[in-house]
Amino acid sequence: MKNKIILFWIIVILAIAAIVTVKCLPTRLGLDLKGGSRILLEAQTTETISKITQDMMDSLKATLDRRINPNGVSEITIQQVEDKRLLIEIPKDSDLKEVRRKLSEIAELEFKKPILDDNDNIVGWESSGLTGKDLNKAEVGTDNAGRWLIHLNFNDQGARKFAKLTREFKGYPIAIYFNGEVMSEPVVQNEITGGLAQITGEFTHEKAKEDVDLLNAGALPVPAKILEENAVSPTLGVDSLHKSFVAGFIGLGFVMLFMIFWYRLPGLIADMALVIYSLLTFAVFKITGVTLTLAGIAGFILSIGMAVDANILIFERTKEELKSGRTLFTAINSGFDRAFTSIFDSNMSTIITCAILYFLGSNIVKGFALTLAIGVIVSMFSAITVTKNFMHLMFGTGQLKHPALFGLKESDINDAYQAAETQREKAKFGVLD
Amino acid sequence: MSYSVFNTKKYIDVVKYRWIWFALSFILLFPGIVAMVISMMQYPTHTPLRVGIDFTGGTIIQYSVEQNIPPEKVTDIRNKLVEQNVDSPVIQVLKPSSSDNENAIKYILSIKTKFAEDNQTDEIDKISGIISSDYPEAQIVQTNSVGPVLGKQLFVNSMIAVTLALLGIVIYLTLRFHFEFAISAFLALFHDVLFVVGVFSILGLTAGVQIDSLFVTAILTVLGFSVHDTIVVFDRIRENLKFYSKKASYDDIVNASVNQTLARSINTSLTTLFTLGALYLFGGVTTRDFVLVMILGIAIGTYSSIFFASTIVALWNDIKKAKKSKSQSEGV
């Protein structure tokens, strides 16, 4: 009995620790509950790039990060998922449209030189070898008339290339291509050696600023395509969260009432264990940093069902044991022992499905599998340790004086004692049935 | 009857009336199977269920609107969208469960169209422009775009997940019980999944209900729960076989085990159905189908663990016994 009391206090301490954890640690909510967007990108192979390497992915990720996050202050996160995919998560207050546009631009800057025929007519354009890679920095500026333009500042290599280009094509136009389109076609007046160039055009300030950001971030090493896009408004998110909570509480309330109605005092004990179970599970969610999504909440609510199931299995078994004439202490113990195999096997099968879901499922499915698995594991602890401990402390030893506490009839127990009595007598006289 | 060994008062002879249960199962499953066949012939995807954009690719944009939109208005919106070259739009008006919250969303206008490969932004802007001309208060609450590549991949992954889950369960049951239990549990699982898929196939045909990736999750949960239920009964059969196999016939042991676990089976399902029912009625509109799958699955899972899985075990044993006696008589 002393051990039982020690265990009881351990459970109390655990429950308090769980309350503190739940209070103190922040809840990580998924996009569907707090609002926000998610974009899944996939790097695309092209004619020239037949295989996407990890280096390319790193550089793609870094480039996109510089573009979306030029100042490093926004909360947008980019992470690689699988071999050639990037997942971008955008908090609710960001402009999805703008982000989407920034992602899809390849932002390739290229200076092209004219192809001349014998009569010095321009018949086409070809690559000059000078590209965005040779750029040191781009800036927004204005010309004398106050029109917006972009200053380009080449690095040493770029400056040399640019000098060579302007020397070679003095008096001819060169073309500046950006994203596959001609931005301007200035005629070279003089050889330019300082590594400085300008792009003029009909820029608005925003457009110039955006292009400068893109130029500074650099071109994407490989094109990337949007595979999936999800956006949830904060209104809907808050609405869903609120509703799930209401539903959870109503559901839990019904379950608790049912347990008391059907199992009486043990039912009440199970309800207490259920509250502790919910606290512990939530604490584990917070400690392990589970991101709570709608599907995750559904998983949690389902795990409540399974936690209750463990208690039901145990109580039904204990009732049977009582009916077959055992004393309280042994009835409770053997009720637990005999129910354990079925609790264990059935929960194992749930955990197997969760594991498979976790490794193969999409993001939503993963959240669900994780919360359900955590819930099931915690439920085994709560049913076996918490409920059992409370039962022993509440009922003590000896014979059940008030069968009604278990929802049993007086006659059930008395018959059983009689049956046990006769069996014992039979055994004494060596009569076996 | 040797059943008295088990000393239980209320008693359903599941084994004796097995053909009634099988017939009942057939009645439950048949309409769904018919719906699946019709669906496979009717849908361009040739799938037994109406699959949503998660699997086929596409874009869904949802707007919150203040008032309900009558059907003739919906047709009107559809015509306008088609005029503006929106690819085969599907329009639905959803009513979220009521809430006391004043800022709660009243109605959701959901528009589905093809995935705009190149120009997502313009496509969404175009549709929003059309909607806001009629409903200036409309706000985008959710957009979801899935490219066709991803859809196909998700489908394949889901199939692999379901197959692996089934395989994992069968292996686990074979290790912990006997192969015949594993096969019976597997058949019960199949029975349950077939029922739920059948109901959703019917809903797809009659109410246009589409399945998404959450559906697969829900089905896998049903698998987990159904086997959970079945295992509890099997565990009891296993235990009773250990103690009573000499005193009682196999059929009696199966019967007794089912009856001993009956209260638990029903009570567990009830409590789970309470929570799920609350989720269905008061939870968000986005998870309603997901919850419905689980409600159906748990109800049928309870039925099958009581009347289907255990009777299959008994039937299996009968066949085994018949074979044995046949081979014995042949031997003589």
Q: Using pLDDT thresholds of 50, 70 and 90, give the confidence band for residue B184.
A: very high
**Residue A29: pLDDT band with limits 50, 70, 90:** confident
Tokens of A123: 């018949």
Q: Which of A227, A324, A346 has the CB atom closest to B232's CB atom?
A: A346
> Which chain A residues are closer than 8 Å to B188 by Cβ?
none
What's the CATH fold of domain B58-146? Alpha-Beta Plaits (3.30.70)
Q: Any idea how long chain A is?
A: 433
Tokens 């909360």 sit on residue: A75
Residue B137: the pLDDT is 84
Residue B200 has a pLDDT of 95
Res. A13 pLDDT band, cuts 50 70 90: very high
Task: Give pLDDT tens digits for A312-347.
Answer: 888 888 888 888 777 788 888 888 888 888 888 888
User: A205, A232, A259: which is the final residue of a domain?
Assistant: A232
pLDDT classification of A359: cutoffs 50, 70, 90 = confident
Q: Do A308 and B272 touch (CB under 8 A)?
A: yes
Q: Residue A27 belongs to what domain range? A: 2-31+233-426
Tell whether B272 lies on the interface with A, counting CB pairs under 8 A: yes
Alpha carbons within 13 A on the beta-carbon side of A99: 27
pLDDT, residue A90, reads 82
Share of chain A above pLDDT 90, in %: 7
* Chain B: closest CA distance from residue A132 (Å): 24
* Among candidates B161, B231, B294 on the partner chain, residue whose Cβ is nearest the Cβ of A357: B161
Q: Confidence band (pLDDT; 50, 70, 90) for B203? A: very high
Residues of chain B with CATH 1.20.1640.10: 2-45+150-321
| Per-residue confidence (pLDDT) for residue B3, from 0 to 100 | 45
Residue B282 has pLDDT above 70, yes or no: yes
- Strands, E assignment, B209-320: none
Any A CB within 8 A of B84 CB:
no
Inter-chain touch A362–B64, beta carbons under 8 Å: no
Pick the residue with more confidence: A431 or A4?
A4
Cα separations in angstroms, A356 against A227, B164, B174, B298: 24, 7, 18, 20
Q: How confident is the model at residue B38 (pLDDT cuts 50, 70, 90)?
A: very high
Q: Which residue has the higher pLDDT, B54 or B330?
A: B54
Residue that is last in its domain, among A175, A203, A232: A232
According to the per-residue pLDDT averaged within each range, which of A353-367, B84-98, B167-181 is highest?
Answer: B167-181
pLDDT of residue A177: 82
Identify which of A105, A42, A31 has the alpha carbon closest to the alpha carbon of residue B119.
Answer: A105
What span, in angstroms and rounded, lies between the C-alpha atoms of B38 and B52? 18
Q: What is the least distance, in Å, from the CA of B266 to any CA of chain A?
A: 10
Specify whether A205 is located in the same domain as A129. Answer: yes
| pLDDT of A421 strictly over 60 | no
Question: Mutation test of the interface with chain A: which of B274, B289, B292, B310, choosing the one with the most A Cβ atoms within 10 A?
Answer: B274
Q: In this predicted model, what pLDDT tens digit does every residue of A130-189 receive, in sequence order?
A: 887 788 888 888 888 778 888 888 888 888 888 888 888 888 888 888 777 777 788 887
A49 & A156 share domain: yes
What mean pLDDT comes out for the span B179-206?
93
Q: Do A251 and B260 touch (CB under 8 A)?
A: no
Tokens of B284: 């968000």
Residue B28 sits at the chain A interface (C-beta within 8 Å): no
pLDDT score for A18 = 93
CB pairs under 8 A between A and B: 236
Give the distance from residue B331's alpha carbon to the nearest chain A alpha carbon, in angstroms: 36
In the beta sheet, which residues pair with residue A85?
A42, A81
| CATH 3.30.70.3220 intervals, chain B | 58-146
Residue A431 has pLDDT above 50, yes or no: no
Predicted local confidence at residue B35, as pLDDT: 95
Q: Report the side by side order of strands in the sheet with A109-116.
A: A122-131, A109-116, A175-178, A181-184
CA distance B264 to A115: 85
Number of domains in chain A: 2
Select the residue from B6, B271, B294 to test the A interface by mutation, using most A Cβ atoms within 10 A.
Answer: B271
Q: What is the DSSP string of B154-222?
A: HHHHHHHHHHHHHHHHHHHHHHHS-HHHHHHHHHHHHHHHHHHHHHHHHHHHHH---B-HHHHHHHHHH
* A254 shares a domain with A208: no
pLDDT, residue B32, reads 95
Q: Strand order of the sheet with strand A148-154?
A: A135-142, A148-154, A196-203
Answer whether residue B305 shows pLDDT above 80: yes
**Closest residue on chain A to B157 (Cα):** A360
| B277 close to A (CB below 8 A) | yes
Distance between B25 CA and the closest CA of chain A, angstroms: 24
Give the pLDDT of residue B6.
58
* pLDDT, chain A, mean: 80
ipTM score:
0.80
d(Cα B280, Cα B97) in Å, to the nearest integer? 9
Residues A65 and A194 in one domain: yes
Please check the confidence at residue B55 and state whether its pLDDT lies above 80: yes
Do A249 and A289 belong together in one domain? yes
From the list B7, B142, B264, the residue facing A232 with the nearest CB is: B142
Give the nearest partner residue to B176 out of A225, A345, A365, using CB atoms.
A345
Interface touch B101/A32, C-beta < 8 Å:
no
Indicate the pLDDT class of residue B286, thresholds 50, 70 and 90: confident
Which residues are CB-neighbours of B70 under 8 A, at least 6 positions away? none
Mean pLDDT calculated for residue range A199-207: 78
Region B85-103 average pLDDT: 74
- Whether residues A342 and B157 touch (CB distance < 8 A) is answered with no
Is A159 within the bounds of a domain?
A: yes
Residue A86: which CATH number?
3.30.1360.200
Q: Closest approach of chain B CAs to the CA of A228, in angstroms?
A: 4
Q: Which residues, other chains included, contact B219 with Cβ-Cβ below 8 Å and sequence gap of 6+?
A: B162, B193, B196, B197, B293, B297
Average pLDDT value for residue range A74-101 = 77
Q: Does B262 touch chain A (CB under 8 A)?
A: no
> What is the DSSP code (8-state) at residue A403?
G
A431 within some domain? no
Q: Please give the biggest Cα pair distance in chain B.
A: 90
Do residues A164 and A180 both lie within one domain?
Answer: yes
Residue-wise pLDDT for A216-258, tens only, equals 777 777 778 888 888 888 777 888 888 888 888 888 899 999 9
On whether both A420 and A326 belong to a single domain, the answer is: yes
Task: Assess whether A205 and A296 both reside in one domain.
Answer: no
Contact B224 A354 (CB under 8 A): yes
What's the CATH fold of domain B2-45+150-321? Multidrug efflux transporter AcrB transmembrane fold (1.20.1640)
Query: A269 and A145 share a domain?
Result: no
Task: Specify whether A205 is located in the same domain as A339.
Answer: no
B231/A298 CB distance under 8 A: no
A279-318 pLDDT, tens digit per residue, is 999 999 999 888 888 778 777 877 887 788 888 888 888 8
- The predicted pLDDT at position B206 comes to 92
Q: Name the pLDDT band for A110 (thresholds 50, 70, 90).
A: confident
Q: How far is A270 from chain B (nearest CA, A)?
A: 13
pLDDT at A428 over 50: no
What gap in Å lies between CA B290 and CA B217, rounded to an integer?
8
Sort out which chain B residues have CB atoms less than 8 A from A348's CB and list them. 172
Residue in B264, B277, B303 with CA at minimum distance from that of residue B29: B303
Rounded average pLDDT over B234-244: 87
CATH number at residue A301: 1.20.1640.10
Of A388, A387, A368, A391, nearest in space to A303 by CA: A368
Distance CA A86, CA A75 (A): 16
Instruction: Please indicate whether residue A324 or residue B276 has the higher confidence score (pLDDT).
Output: B276
Locate the chain A residue with the closest alpha carbon to B145.
A229
